[in-house]
Amino acid sequence: MQIKKIAVLQGDYIGPEIMNSGLEVLEAVSQETNFEYQIHKYPFGGEAIDCCGEPLPQSTIEGCKKSDAVLLSAIGGPKWDKAKIRPEAGLLAIRNELGLFANIRPTKVNPILARKSPVKPEVIQDTDFVIVRELTSGIYFGTPRKQEKYEAIDTSRYTVEEIERIMHIGFEMSMHRKKHVTIVDKANVLATSKLWRKVAQKMNNDYPEVVVDYCYVDAAAMKIITQPSFFDVVITANLFGDILSDEASVLTGSLGTIPSMSTGVTGPSLYEPIHGSAPDIAGRGIADPISMIQSIEMMLRESFGEYELADRITNAVEQAITKGIVTPDLGGTATTKEVTTQIIENLRG
């Protein structure tokens, strides 16, 4: 078997702390298996601004392109708030450079962690959906975009091809799930949304078993809270996906555990926690490593087809949660290190 190349972007503040945990778990789970890999670290975000004057140096782009998967932790923070180019600009750029047009965000409620959710248990039970967010087009990238003295303009532009490829990913995903796709748009106002609906209706012909419904983004923002178990696969545009996937994440009560995947047609996919770099707790050894560990789990599953290793991680993480060996964000008192050690022990046990 070929040795997998994994690009590691360890990021800022709690970034390196949780990345280390994740890599320890990866090492432990793959010992004495056929899965072989190499880690290559590249600067990205704030770290890259400090060392190289820009959040996404050319060498990092090239390193990522040569790899089989990219692991990212979290970037940005107050240190670079006044930087000419902010670390987050690197995020938009890397998506573009690697053609990562689809962002996949699972929202699944773990019954134990659900206690920490702001939403009532009877509302969130059975919640298990995925948001498929278009990531490299729409109002994030459309031109003209300009800020002048007296006015500013942003442009949202979608081509049929861009819509088709993201729909394709969502419809395919639904075939392995409950075969239920919800297109979230604002087709009562936006021209781009009308085109999304048209493409979805056509794609439904290719997936006759899939039940498709259409939901305006304002109604979806309500339904995610009132009836989250309604959803299976949500497909939506860049900006709507940004808002709704963050909204959805709080349902779980466990932001610190949620991974995400960004993917394209060719080239490596990128895996990262959905939370930020948490400057307030950086260096205190209490950052929750589970989101990073789950990002690695997702990588093993989706990029490398290592289902058995992925399942072992899932089980080890669930055991740690069941035992209550978790960090303060999940109501526990364990440190990052203790959680990591516990998960590695569970892997071995």
Please answer whether residues 60 and 42 qualify as being in contact, where contact means their C-beta atoms are separated by less than 8 angstroms: yes
Look up 242 and say whether it is catalytic.
yes
Instruction: State the minimum distance, in angstroms, from the CB of residue 189 to ligand IPM.
Output: 5
State the angle between helix axes of 217-226 and 238-249 in degrees (0 to 180), rounded to the nearest 10. 10
- Rule CB under 8 A: which residues touch its own copies? 86, 88, 92, 118-120, 123, 139-140, 142, 145-147, 149-161, 186, 188-192, 194-195, 217-219, 221-222, 225-226, 239-240, 242-247, 249-250
The nearer residue to ligand IPM, 7 or 325, going by C-beta atoms, is 7
- Which residues, at least 6 apart from 226, have a Cβ–Cβ distance to it below 8 Å? 123
Residue 85 contact among ligand IPM, its own copies, none, beta carbon within 5 to 8 Å by kind: none
How far is residue 278's CA from residue 177's CA, in Å, rounded to a whole number?
33
Look up 68 and say whether it is catalytic.
no
End-to-end CA distance of the chain: 27
Look up 216 and say whether it is catalytic.
no
Listed residue (126, 122, 128, 123) closest to 107, CA to CA: 128
Taking CA atoms, 141 is separated from 115, 178, 343, in Å, by 39, 32, 40
Q: Which of 42, 140, 158, 207 is catalytic?
A: 140
The nearer residue to ligand IPM, 61 or 239, going by C-beta atoms, is 239
SS3 222: helix
Which residues 80-109 are close enough to bind ligand IPM by CB under 6 A?
88, 91-92
Q: Which of 4, 42, 158, 186 is catalytic?
A: 186
The nearer residue to its own copies, 156 or 314, going by C-beta atoms, is 156
Look up 37 and say whether it is catalytic.
no
Is 49 a binder of ligand IPM (CB under 6 A)?
no
SS (HEC) of 235-259: EECHHHHHHHHHHHHHHHCCHHHCE
Q: Which of 50, 128, 154, 246 is catalytic?
A: 246
SS3 40: strand
Is 188 a binder of ligand IPM (CB under 6 A)?
yes
Q: Contacting ligand IPM (CB under 6 A), which of 126, 218, 308, 311?
A: 218
- Active site residues per annotation: 140, 186, 218, 242, 246
Binding interface with ligand IPM (CB under 6 A): 88, 91-92, 188-189, 218, 242
